[in-house]
Structure 1
């Protein structure tokens, strides 16, 4: 009797494991493909004739690259860029830091790219590059694309809605200086964790707050519980860290931030968290219920692929 139960269990396991592995393959996103037109950019100096993008594998040639993923952002992008450029072009910053803005239009259905180029023409002293993706990848795909073609020795990802106070870049910059030499891998993330008890979070919907706490619980289980706010779209990477992390990124959806932090942890790259100011901006593309369920699915897919060795981390 006992032997027959054991045989039955082994048989069931032999059937279940391949089925689970097949399900993992089917649920995993396909490789992110870069089309020929997406390897080029336009700027105020090349409005009609796109120029070739550089590679993250190259040696950095400027101090800072600001990567701005943008999907249907004609209403929010102008004010965000104005705030960003006011800070970067201030006398104290301009004299010590060279920079570029890489706006990645994530297959927008509106005139985001056209507007971005018009704004570039209005700011003659700023290096604004506009990359247009042929199809919508998701925020993570747009950030990855911009990072893979940036020139900065430090690379900042920032949302196009202007929810984060751009001046807080200096807090992230100082913390990265503290982590070690400039050529060493390091990551500094902006954090809204200190705002949990404030009106900025309290006034959000009950459902959104419940989902937020649920996500934090899951993140502790999968190994990034040491970061209190994984989802803030304000993160600074040293070039050497970006060179290791972004080529290994697979997820293009909302949970991509978690993958970046998991990769950093697995690669032994130090990650620091710095409180930043943040305010909610109308026009969010996030569907709370739908995207939260997608985040959970993608998180399970991410960990399963890493644990089975399908997605390997190479230092």
Structure 2
């Protein structure tokens, strides 16, 4: 038996074992004559010494009026693996769109010129994509193990904004706007065809579209120190982001955010693995759904009865359905259908609840007043139970469908 220590394994490869995945790290710049030289020299030295994959740096000037462009051109002449490009359209999104669309690399990435994010997180970021595990990887300053130093104002704005993404869009990532991201080139290009923003909202729009279309976004906790010379205007950027979110929500709800992209699907690794058949999966889902359905019926009854003492049948029914529907949909999203993340889920669930409301209200109004309260409650609860059975198919095939347009 050979007891010699094994040699250090080579990094996993994207696509084929014939070669290592290449990485293009883009640095978008706008009037950054002070920060650019130090950034490029520091980054190039780090990559030469500690980065195991083939790499290049692309300086992307988007409309600078100072000495940024001459400096970028000089740096490109100084280093063989540094390239410089210039476009007249301002905005980080415009710079990334132009650089990523024409990049020859397998993986495209970007970082801010101030190097606020510690470079030790770069390989873990890229490795998640190069291994084929994820299509996109992002740095996060909001993970428990991340270490950051920034002003209270930026901390509050960042956490509030990302909370809005989690609870308003069901986003699975925690930090949309950290300037530290990587993606498979063949995946990000069709996504960019749907991204409309050319400014700071570009990152958020790209990530929400990625999750909307079933792609996996991997997060890497980072060490991050705020540069007080940043070009970010927090209040203006926040206002633009809110406008972008409204536009994107409409695009998702109308079905215009679907993109045909190549994404990894889970397959068993063991050659003799026994995989659950679709029928068994459906039975497990239905069992979970049935348990949630029973609790929902009880909750609906407990809400309807006291409200009926003050309100009309239609109004009491509406209030009970709204409250129960929110609980039921969220419970099924978490435990029955596997935390599906898509904004159209809320629109479709609302449409399904409206149908349920119409039918249950029709049932309760069909009961004559002289029949008494017990008959009225019995009619509405019986109709709700019947619709709950039908609701499973609607949730499975429509509301929580993983099929992307």
Same fold (TM over 0.5): yes
Looking at structure 1, the residues matched to 254 and 23 of structure 2 have their Cα atoms a distance apart, in angstroms, of 36
Contact kept, 8 Å, 1:148 with 1:247, in 2: the verdict is no
Tell me which residue corresponds to 2:112.
159
Larger-Rg structure = 2
Looking at structure 1, the residues matched to 147 and 105 of structure 2 have their Cα atoms a distance apart, in angstroms, of 35
**Helix, strand or coil: the match of 1:258?**
helix
Contact kept, 8 Å, 1:61 with 1:152, in 2: the verdict is no
Asked whether 1:188 is paired with 2:144, we answer: no
Asked whether 1:114 is paired with 2:60, we answer: no
Structure 2: segments with no counterpart, 5+ residues:
1-18, 262-405
Tell me which residue corresponds to 1:134.
88
Structure 1: segments with no counterpart, 5+ residues:
1-59
Tell me which residue corresponds to 2:172.
226
1:40-88, Cα deviation, whole Å (9 max, x unpaired): xxxxxxxxxxxxxxxxxxxx99711111111111111111111210111
Query: Quick one: structure 1 residues 303 and 196, their matched pair in 2 at CA, closer, same or farther if it must change by over 3 Å?
Result: farther
User: Residue 132 of structure 1: CA displacement?
Assistant: 1.0
Query: Quick one: structure 1 residues 261 and 199, their matched pair in 2 at CA, closer, same or farther if it must change by over 3 Å?
Result: closer
State which of 196, 200, 221 in structure 2 corresponds to 1:250.
Answer: 196
Alpha carbon RMSD of aligned pairs, Å? Answer: 2.4
Tell me which residue corresponds to 1:282.
228
1:203-240, Cα deviation, whole Å (9 max, x unpaired): x13x3333223212211134253211111111111122
Asked whether 1:89 is paired with 2:48, we answer: yes
1:259-284, Cα deviation, whole Å (9 max, x unpaired): 11112112221111011221111311
Asked whether 1:67 is paired with 2:26, we answer: yes
Contact kept, 8 Å, 1:179 with 1:270, in 2: the verdict is no
Query: Quick one: structure 1 residues 246 and 64, their matched pair in 2 at CA, closer, same or farther if it must change by over 3 Å?
Result: same
TM-score, with structure 2 as normaliser? 0.55
State which of 247, 251, 262 in structure 2 corresponds to 1:305.
Answer: 251
Looking at structure 1, the residues matched to 36 and 103 of structure 2 have their Cα atoms a distance apart, in angstroms, of 20
Asked whether 1:262 is paired with 2:208, we answer: yes
1:156-175, Cα deviation, whole Å (9 max, x unpaired): 11111211122321111333
**Helix, strand or coil: the match of 2:223?**
coil
Looking at structure 1, the residues matched to 169 and 252 of structure 2 have their Cα atoms a distance apart, in angstroms, of 12
**Helix, strand or coil: the match of 1:114?**
helix
Give the number of the structure with larger relative contact order, counting CA–CA contacts within 8 Å between residues 6 or more apart. 1
Looking at structure 1, the residues matched to 163 and 68 of structure 2 have their Cα atoms a distance apart, in angstroms, of 36
Larger helix proportion of the pair: 2
Query: Quick one: structure 1 residues 80 and 195, their matched pair in 2 at CA, closer, same or farther if it must change by over 3 Å?
Result: farther
Looking at structure 1, the residues matched to 173 and 96 of structure 2 have their Cα atoms a distance apart, in angstroms, of 20
Contact kept, 8 Å, 1:87 with 1:167, in 2: the verdict is no
Tell me which residue corresponds to 2:8.
none
Contact kept, 8 Å, 2:76 with 2:82, in 1: the verdict is yes
> How many residues are matched?
243
User: Residue 107 of structure 1: CA displacement?
Assistant: 0.7
Looking at structure 2, the residues matched to 176 and 121 of structure 1 have their Cα atoms a distance apart, in angstroms, of 30
Looking at structure 1, the residues matched to 145 and 123 of structure 2 have their Cα atoms a distance apart, in angstroms, of 23
TM-score, with structure 1 as normaliser? 0.70
1:68-122, Cα deviation, whole Å (9 max, x unpaired): 11111111111111121011111x53xx532221111111111211111112222
User: Residue 144 of structure 1: CA displacement?
Assistant: 1.2
Tell me which residue corresponds to 1:145.
98
State which of 205, 214, 226 in structure 1 corresponds to 2:160.
Answer: 214
Tell me which residue corresponds to 1:79.
38
